[in-house]
Every structure is written in C-alpha cells, then in structure tokens.
Structure 1
Amino acid sequence: MAYDEIIDHYSALARAADAGRSVADCGQDAFEQGGFGAAGYEELGMLPEGAVRASLGCGNPVAVAELRAGQTVLDLGSGGGIDVLLSARRVGPQGTVYGVDASADMLALARRNAEQAGARNVEFLHGSIEHVPLPDRSVDVVISNCVINLSGDKAAVLAEAFRVLRPGGRFGVSDVVVDGALDPERRRAAEQRIGCAAGALPVAGYRKLLAAAGFTDVRIVLTADHGDGARSAIVQAVKPTAGKGLEIRPMRASDADQVLAIYQAGLDTGQAGFETVTPSWEGFTAARLPHLRYVAADTGSGQVVGWVAASAVSSRPVYAGVVEHSIYVHPGCQAHGIGRALLAAFIAAAGDAGVWTIQSGVFPENAASLALHQALGFRVVGTRERIGCHRGLWRDVVMIERRSTLTGI
C-alpha cells in the first residue's frame, strides 16, 4: 500500500469512528482475536467514547512508558488520540503530550476527543512520523501504538525518535514484528491479515535499526501471537544519558576531522597509546567495527568533544563477542564526566550487540583512564611488562577487561 493510500485508509476509518461506527484495521475476526484496538487497555472509563472507538493499536504503550508528572511525551501516529489522552493524565497539568498524525481526519477526531475529555495539556500536529514537526531534544518519552510497521522508511522513523528525545529519554512502543524466518507468501498473508501495510520488521532487524539510530538498552518483548510468525511486541530503548549541553550519538563520516583531531591531541600527551600520528579517516574506519562508534557532541555548536569506538580482536568466530575499545576526550573538556557518559553508552550498546568481553590496554601512568574504567566495572587482568618501545622508552601496558552480565557467562 502506497503512502497516500495509507493516509486515505486511516482517514476513512476516522470518519467512520466519528460517525459512531466501530472500526477495525483488518478483518474483524483478526482484530478481535489479536487483541487489537481498546482490548489492551484497563483505564478507559474517563475517556471519550470516540477515542476508545477509534483505537487501532496492538497494545498499550502507556502502560510501559513509565511516564512521570511534568514530562513531555510524543505519540507517533496518534490516531484518535487514546494514547495521548491517557499520557496526558499521567504527566499532569505541568506536562505536555504531542500527537503527530498524517491524516487530517484523524487529527480532527483527536482534537474533538481531547476537547470532550477536557485535556488542556495536549497538542495534535499534522505531519509524518518520518519528519516529526518538533525541535531536537524536545521530548522525554516517545510512544507509538502499532504505527511504525506501516512506514516505508522505518530507519527514518527511529532516527526522528532519537532526534527529538532529550538525552536519557525513553522510547516505548507497541508494534507488530516478525519472529523468525518466514517464506514470502506466509509473511504477506500475515501482514495483510493484520493490516501491516508496509511490512513488519523482524525482531533482529528492529534491534539493528534502533542501534543504528543511536539507542541503547534495547528490549523487545513479544506479546500476542497473530499466526504465521507475526507477533505484537513491546519495544523499549533509551537515548544515552549525557552531561548538560551534550548529546551522545553514533559517529558520522562528517565527524572525521574532529574525531581525528581529538585522537591526535590524546596521542600528543604520550600517555594514550603507542601511536604517534593518527591514521587517515579511511585507515581509522577500516580498523574499527562499523557499529559501536559514538561521539559526545555539544548540542549548541555541534562540536565533537569525545569519542569511543571498537575493533575486533580476531576474525575467528569464537571471538565474535570480544572487542577492544578506545576512548578519547578533547583535552579542554576533561574532568567533566564526558568520558564516563561515553563509556557507559558504549557498554550498553555492546551488550545490545551481543558483546561479552570489552578489553583494552592502558599505560600504568594513565591513572585517570584506569580509574574511569574500574569505576564502570572493568578489572585489571595483568600487566604486559616492557611490551613496546615508545618515544625511546620501553613501556608496560595494563590489560583491562569487562565481562558482560547480559550473556550469562
């Protein structure tokens, strides 16, 4: 189904709900048996009948969003407004809840429902979930209910969710996913039966796109089974926490000059590594994994003030979950918690990626680095004495590692 057809489809459903008719996004049997619509909610008594009638979701994201008073919330694909209104009650009069939807008819219905409910802390915006009409870092929580699966560009949706979230913000949605490998015919049948017009993501694919957007602490919990491998799921993730005025995000090619300049400044101290001159950007990227690369950037100027990245320790499959990392902070920005925030984000992302051991080598004279790593769970496993000659001196290297608590080893 094309984008315009999706809008027309949901606009028609909005008009039907507004006229007092029951609506369903798929066959009525599949809708009722799959727990779609208002079936997943327990707190509907104070909501307008029109909001309940227009509910087309596949779960209750508000129940897992951990909303608190005073927070700002965004609902992607807000439809008739049921999740916006429930969120508004949880964040209270000091909080704000935005709903964004591409259907003018759905927005009109949602606004009428909000007026009927007496909700003054809500605002419904016309726009697409791939291009959210809100500024960077403007919300605390992003929710959505069975909408992301409709998008033809899910990577853009997740990137937008990351963009509008403040550091430490949470992503908590209900969606439809594909669990396991399906042949194309079974997959198409399942998607058509439950209304996933643009195709549901496999669980592994969802995780990969969330990580690529910059999210960590990813959790996907499967709920209702719709047959043929299609499942409802609760999907949760976190935007890494950063210090005031900072954002931790994936490293980009456009960061190259700043990353290499920070790298060189670290090498110039004589305590950061055996190298004396940074490689080219091509050499830097070739030596490191394409994922697990992050920068800390100033939210005002965009200046990169620190970075962390990982390299594989071996090409042998048995070492697939073992990486070696490097972390560097701009010399003018040290002792501000940037290294700790970067390393914490890296550890969380490594756990999401199935890494079971993070290791590195540190000069024993680099006391600040050793203290940082030990504070975040690294242990000293030994010292390689006089392992290399650096600037005319034979240097020891302290070997440190952190074992994952997520993989059960």
Structure 2
Amino acid sequence: MAHDEIIDHYSALARAAAAGQEVTDCGRDAFEQGGFGAAGYADLQALPEQAVRASLGCGNPVAVAEVRRGDTVLDLGSGGGLDVLLSARRTGPHGKVYGLDAAADMLALARRNAEQAGVRNVSFLHGTIERVPLPDRSVDVVLSNCVINLSGDKAAVLTEAFRVLRAGGRFCVSDVVVEGAPGPATRAAAEERIGCVAGALPVAEYRRLLSAAGFVGVRVTPAADHGGGVRSAIVQATKPAAPPEVEIRPMRAGDADQVLAIYQAGLDTGQASFETRAPAWAGFTSARLPGLRYVACDTGTGQVLGWVAASAVSSRPVYAGVVEHSVYVHPGCQAHGVGRALLAAFVAAAEDAGVWTIQSGVFPENAASLALHRALGFRVVGTRERVGRHHGTWRDVLLVERRSTVTGT
C-alpha cells in the first residue's frame, strides 16, 4: 500500500476500535493463529479495553526491551498506545514515553487510552517514522511493533532510530521478516493470509540495514511461523556505547580530512606503524573494508576524535572471517575512553559481520595500545623479531589477536 493508503487503513481501524468494534488487520483465523494483536501479552491488567482491542502488532517488544526506571522510550507507529502504556509502567514517574504515529485517528485514540489509564508520563507525536520529530540522542529505547515492514524507506527509519538514540541505547522491535527467498506466489499467498508481507525484509537485508545505520549487536529471533518463509521476529540492536558527549557512528567520506589528520598524527609519534605518511583518501578507503569503519565524534562540534577500520588479510575464502584492524585517536583525546569505545564497537560489528579473528601488529614500545587491546580480549600470539626498519632502526612487532567466542566457534 502507498503511504496515504496505509494512513487511511489504520485510521479506519482506530475508529472501529473506538466504537467498540472487533479490529483485525487480516482474517480472524490468521490474526489469532499468527499471534497478532494482544495475543503475546501477559500484563494487560488495568489497561483500557480500546488500547488492547487496537493492538495490531506481531509480538511483544516491551517484554524483551529491558525498559528501565527513568528511561526515555520512543514507540515508532504507536497505534492505540498499548506498548506506550506498558513502557510507561516500567519507566516510572521519572521516565518518559513517546508514541509516534502518522494517523491522527490513532493518536486521538491513544491519547484517550492514556487519559483513561491515568498515565501522565507519555506524549503522542504526529509524524512519520522516516522523519522522527525528536532531537538527536534524546531517547534510551526505540520500540516498534509490526510497523517498519510497512515503510517504503526502511533505511531512513533505521537511520532515524540510530539518530535519536543515546549512546548505548537499545533498538527492539517486533516485525514480519522473510527467511530465505520465497517466490512471488508464496509471498502473495502469505500476504493474503496476514496482510503485511509485501514490505517485509529478508533477515539478511534487515541485518545489513541496521549495520549500515551504525547499530551493533544485531539479533533477529524468529517467533511465529506464518508459512512460506514468512515469520514474525524480535529484532534487537544497540547503538555503540561511548564516553559522555561522544558518539560512535559509521565513517563517511566527509570525515576524510579529519580521519587522515588523526592518522598522520599517530604516525608522527613513531609508535603506531612502519608507515610514515598517511595515504590519500582514495588509497585509504580502497584498502579497507567498507562495512567495518567507524569514527568517534564530539556530539557538540561534530569533530572526529578517533577512528577504527579494518582490511581483509587475504582474498582466499578460507580467510573470509579474518581481518586486520587499526585504531587511532586524536592526540588531545587519548586516555578519555575514546579508543576503548571505538574498539568495542568494532569488535561487536565484526562479529555481526561473521568475522571470527581480528588481528593486528603492535610495536612492543606502544604500551597504551597493548593495554587497550588486552582490555578488549586480545592476546599476544607471537613476536616478529627485527621484522622491519623504522627511521633507521630494526624493530620487533607483537602480533595481537582476538578470536570470537560467538562467530566461527
């Protein structure tokens, strides 16, 4: 369905729920057997009947989102407000929950439900999930329940979710996904049954878009099976943790000058690499994997404070999960936790990408780098003695390695 058709459809369902009518988003049998609506909830006591009746989701994201006291929560496509009200219970009076919906009738219904429930720490916003009307880094948790599959620009939705989350914030949604590659006829049959398959993403594409937005720790946990490779699933991910006023995000072409300046500053110390001159941007980017490069930025100024990136160690398939990485921090920002945050985000992203071994070479004299790597689970696996001349001196290199306990075990 087109955007306006989706709004009209859900507005009509909101009006039906407000009138006390039975509400389903597909045939009654498919709705109940697929676990849609309020079927996945066990904590609906004292909630308005209209909020429960207007629940059209495909799971219970609140149950696994670890909403904490004092959290700020955003529900994308909040409908009649069921997940907003449940989250408000968990955040307590010092927390805040926002419900965002594009359908004015759904917002009116949700506001009435919140008033009837006596819930004060909630606000309902009119807008689209592709353009969230909240400031950067303003929420701790992003929820959604069977709504992202309806969007025509899912990359924009996930980019917005990343933008509004604070460092360490959690993304937890229920959604319909596709496993494997069902043909058009299979997808059409599933859509006829449950009504929301046309825009459902394959699991691998969901993972890719979350990683591209900057999320790490991506998990897709299948739930109800709707047949033909179509399932409901809980999709979870995390925005990388960072020190105060710092954000870890994917490296962009616009970061080139700052990234290369930090690189050169590290080389000038004489302890970072055998290299003495940072390459031009074309050489830098062509030598590094596109999906495993991050920067740490000052959230106030946008200044790049450090970066991490990786290169493949070999083109042979047997080494597909082995990479060599580098991490550099601006000289004025060292010993502030920036390097640790970058490396932790990189390790999580590498495991999401199926990397089982991360390796690098470190000069023995670079005590800070060795300490950082040991803190993140790296170990020294050997010494290459007098392996190269640097500024006229033969130098040893320690080989450090981190073997994943998640991937390739």
TM-score for both structures, normalised by structure 2: 0.99
1:403 paired with 2:403, answer: yes
The 3-state SS of whatever aligns with 1:226 is strand
CA shift, 1:193, in A, is 2.5
Partner deviation per Cα, 1:93-139 (whole Å, 9 max, x = no partner): 11100000000110011001111111100000000000000000000
Partner deviation per Cα, 1:4-25 (whole Å, 9 max, x = no partner): 1111111111111111111111
CA shift, 1:385, in A, is 1.2
Let me know the Cα RMSD of the aligned residues: 0.9
For the 8 Å contact 1:306–1:330, the answer to whether it is kept is yes
For the 8 Å contact 2:176–2:197, the answer to whether it is kept is no
1:88 paired with 2:88, answer: yes
Question: What letter matches 1:340 in structure 2?
Answer: R
- The CA distance in 2 between the partners of 1:195 and 1:106, in whole Å, is 19
1:320 paired with 2:317, answer: no
1:268 paired with 2:253, answer: no
Could you say which residue in structure 2 is the equivalent of 1:333? 333
Deviates more, 1:185-194 or 1:333-342: 185-194
The 3-state SS of whatever aligns with 2:351 is helix
Question: What letter matches 1:187 in structure 2?
Answer: R
Could you say which residue in structure 2 is the equivalent of 1:66? 66
Report how many aligned residue pairs link the two structures.
409
- The CA distance in 1 between the partners of 2:310 and 2:188, in whole Å, is 38
Question: Within 5 A, what are the aligned runs for 1:7-22?
Answer: 7-22=7-22
1:196 paired with 2:196, answer: yes
Question: Within 5 A, what are the aligned runs for 1:27-42?
Answer: 27-42=27-42
Partner deviation per Cα, 1:251-275 (whole Å, 9 max, x = no partner): 1111111101100100111111111
The 3-state SS of whatever aligns with 1:324 is strand
Could you say which residue in structure 1 is the equivalent of 2:146? 146
5+ residue gaps, structure 1, are none
Partner deviation per Cα, 1:279-319 (whole Å, 9 max, x = no partner): 11111110000001100000000000000001000001000
- The CA distance in 2 between the partners of 1:234 and 1:96, in whole Å, is 23
Question: Within 5 A, what are the aligned runs for 1:128-143?
Answer: 128-143=128-143
Could you say which residue in structure 1 is the equivalent of 2:207? 207
The 3-state SS of whatever aligns with 2:315 is coil
For the 8 Å contact 1:312–1:323, the answer to whether it is kept is yes
Question: What letter matches 1:232 in structure 2?
Answer: S
The 3-state SS of whatever aligns with 2:231 is strand
Question: Within 5 A, what are the aligned runs for 1:2-401?
Answer: 2-196=2-196, 198-401=198-401
CA shift, 1:197, in A, is 6.0
The 3-state SS of whatever aligns with 2:278 is coil
- The CA distance in 2 between the partners of 1:249 and 1:131, in whole Å, is 19
- The CA distance in 2 between the partners of 1:32 and 1:377, in whole Å, is 47
Deviates more, 1:27-36 or 1:308-317: 27-36
- The CA distance in 2 between the partners of 1:185 and 1:75, in whole Å, is 33
The 3-state SS of whatever aligns with 2:227 is coil
For the 8 Å contact 1:191–1:200, the answer to whether it is kept is no
- State the identity %: 81
CA shift, 1:407, in A, is 2.1
Partner deviation per Cα, 1:9-61 (whole Å, 9 max, x = no partner): 11111111111111111122211110100111111121001100100000111
Partner deviation per Cα, 1:131-171 (whole Å, 9 max, x = no partner): 00000000000111010111111111111111100001101
Partner deviation per Cα, 1:332-389 (whole Å, 9 max, x = no partner): 1001111011101111111111100000001111111011101111111111111112
- The CA distance in 2 between the partners of 1:220 and 1:188, in whole Å, is 23
- The CA distance in 2 between the partners of 1:55 and 1:111, in whole Å, is 14
- The CA distance in 2 between the partners of 1:46 and 1:218, in whole Å, is 34
Deviates more, 1:26-35 or 1:167-176: 26-35
- The CA distance in 2 between the partners of 1:240 and 1:50, in whole Å, is 37
- The CA distance in 2 between the partners of 1:343 and 1:53, in whole Å, is 46
CA shift, 1:73, in A, is 0.3
- The CA distance in 2 between the partners of 1:339 and 1:119, in whole Å, is 42
